[in-house]
Structure 1
Amino acid sequence: MTEFVEAGASLRSARLRLSAALWRRPWLKLGLLLAAPVLVFAVVYLGALVSLFVSAFWQIDSFTAAVVHKWTLDNFKTLWQDHTYWRITGRTIGLAAAVTVTDAVLAFPLAYFMARIAPPRWRALLFVAVLLPLWSSYLVRIYAWRTILAKNGALNWVLNGIGLPDAGLAYTNTAMWIVFSYVWLPFMVLPVYAALERIPDNYLEASQDLGAKGSRTLRSVILPLAIPGVVAGSIFTFSLTLGDFITPALVGGAGSSFIGNVVEDKVG
């Protein structure tokens, strides 16, 4: 019996020492909390990137399509010398930047209205409107826009009905820009809304008390405080567009390939 009591007291003492150590060293507690996710991130994500980078030094047999584990720099020479890859890279980065700017311009006024102006009922309805497209499949949304922008689609039907010529947007880079901007818009609206909602009302009141007009308050108070949300949304939209290969394959035409399409074609 005495041994059990001593063991329990020793266990409680160890727990108290551990608790005291964690309280005195917050960095140790943070490290223990982050150890598991960081390990998973390092193994799964970074491991996959390292594996992909190493495979870039190998070749694929053109006859059997089997990977030849022989070290070579031919793949890098091809990337450097073939200007087709340069054009594809430029197209991918340029369109990703255009989509990011477009979504930022569209999302900011909507997010501002939701965060600072709209009554609760309107805010709830707008949240549903922003999030509702995410409830449907990504492919369904792309095919919907493909139908709208098609030669005999809804857009040209409306234009022809009012006496205007066809828009000619089907299977073009412009079509990809429109579809990308629509698909990733919620990923810009939500972080911008979160940033605008956190702006204290007394900041805006102080700006008005100091005689600043609405435009000056927007430039000097609201925009600087909303920058973190815009940056977060830009990271989402830019990276998601940069790595996409489904939209170019379904909506783009000849000469609309992205980096992802090349990777899918070469690696599979």
Structure 2
Amino acid sequence: MVTSGATARAFADHAVPGRGRTLADRISGFTHGRPRLRLAALLSAPLTWFGVAYLAALAALFVSAFWTIDDFTGQIVRVWNVDNFRTLFTEGVYRTITLRTFGVALAVTAIDALIAFPMAYYMARHASVRAQRALVIATLMPLWASYLVKAYSWRTMLADNGVVDWVLRPLGLHTPGYGVTATVMTLSYLWLPYMILPVHAGLEQIPQSLVEASADLGARGWRTFRSVIFPAVVPSLIAGSIFTFSLSLGDYIAVQIVGGTSQMLGNVVYTNVGAANNLPFAATVATVPVVIILLYLFAVRRTGALDNL
């Protein structure tokens, strides 16, 4: 039987190892049986991007914090010193702004936790499946709106004769106006979904059998909540606090809109990047929230909160 030329060439390609194989086939054959090599190849591109775009930028930020700026020329002087850190920690105004920023972040986190827990508890433990879906969508809906629209909406509500003033006036109270209180209220609203969702997920993971076992052993509702439910959901609360705390530390737009004359660390960074054109000092101020968050993450790493992110 006479074999055609195309069939003969195809037979030769299969008979000779490596001949006629594409580059993808060769790579697949080389990595076959080497799972670690395949994983490294898969993650190489995103890890490279992460290292260049994030870690390298963070390192550049930290390095530039040790430089200064020439007061006469406005040029950056690349001479290593700690003058910026000395200014940050010795001048009272910056200590006040740092403490105010830290206090606002703590207040926002506490308020969001107090509001989010009962909402998430009802969604996870009592609402029907249909109602639960509707409540999750309602929780996510504020995230679909523009940040600026929400911030300016709160500015309108907190103004004189605004919605908040209209609600408080029958009680003999008045709107808090613009300042630290308005900033806390606005940030609490903005970051509330980031607290509700982790807590809701944590409550959903609690087996109903644990609650039933607690009831079978004679524990009442409050004892079951205190001994079974709350300890199990603490990591989720801490996971949510990482979002609310870190986002509040770095925010400056809401403070610009509703903060009045109050300043936070983000505003100091913005001012020194723009009007003052002092990039080294802006980098110095920006390292403070980064260090605070790293210390917080280091403190909560053993609680299991990072597994809930």
TM-score w.r.t. the length of structure 1 is 0.88
* Separation in 2, partners of 1:69, 1:62: 14
* Separation in 2, partners of 1:13, 1:173: 63
Change (3 A) 1:87 1:221: same
What corresponds to 1:267 in structure 2?
273
Query: 18, 34, 40: which is aligned to 2:31?
Result: 18
Identity %: 50
- Structure 1 residue 65, shift from structure 2 partner: 4.1
- Structure 1 residue 170, shift from structure 2 partner: 1.1
Query: 208, 211, 226: which is aligned to 2:218?
Result: 211
Change (3 A) 1:10 1:212: farther
What corresponds to 1:192 in structure 2?
199
* Separation in 2, partners of 1:14, 1:147: 60
* Separation in 1, partners of 2:157, 2:28: 64
* Separation in 1, partners of 2:174, 2:194: 31
Query: 137, 142, 147: which is aligned to 1:138?
Result: 147
- Give matches, 1:100-119, under 5 Å: 100-119=109-128
Change (3 A) 1:180 1:14: closer
Q: Alpha carbon RMSD of aligned pairs, Å?
A: 2.3
Change (3 A) 1:108 1:9: farther
Q: Residue 178 of structure 2 aligns to a residue in which SS? A: coil
* Separation in 2, partners of 1:31, 1:215: 50
- Give matches, 1:64-213, under 5 Å: 65-160=74-169, 162=170, 164-167=172-175, 169-213=176-220
Alignment check: 8 A CA contact 2:31 2:37 kept:
no
The unaligned stretches of length 5 or more in structure 2 are 1-8, 275-309
- Give matches, 1:22-33, under 5 Å: 22=35, 28-33=37-42
Render the CA deviation track for 1:222-255: whole Å, top value 9, x for unaligned.
112212211211101000001101111111122x
Render the CA deviation track for 1:189-245: whole Å, top value 9, x for unaligned.
001111111111111111111111111111121112212211211101000001101
The number of residue pairs the alignment matches comes to 261
Render the CA deviation track for 1:3-60: whole Å, top value 9, x for unaligned.
52223599779856633232xxxx5554444333322221111111111122222233
TM-score w.r.t. the length of structure 2 is 0.77
What corresponds to 2:301 in structure 1?
none
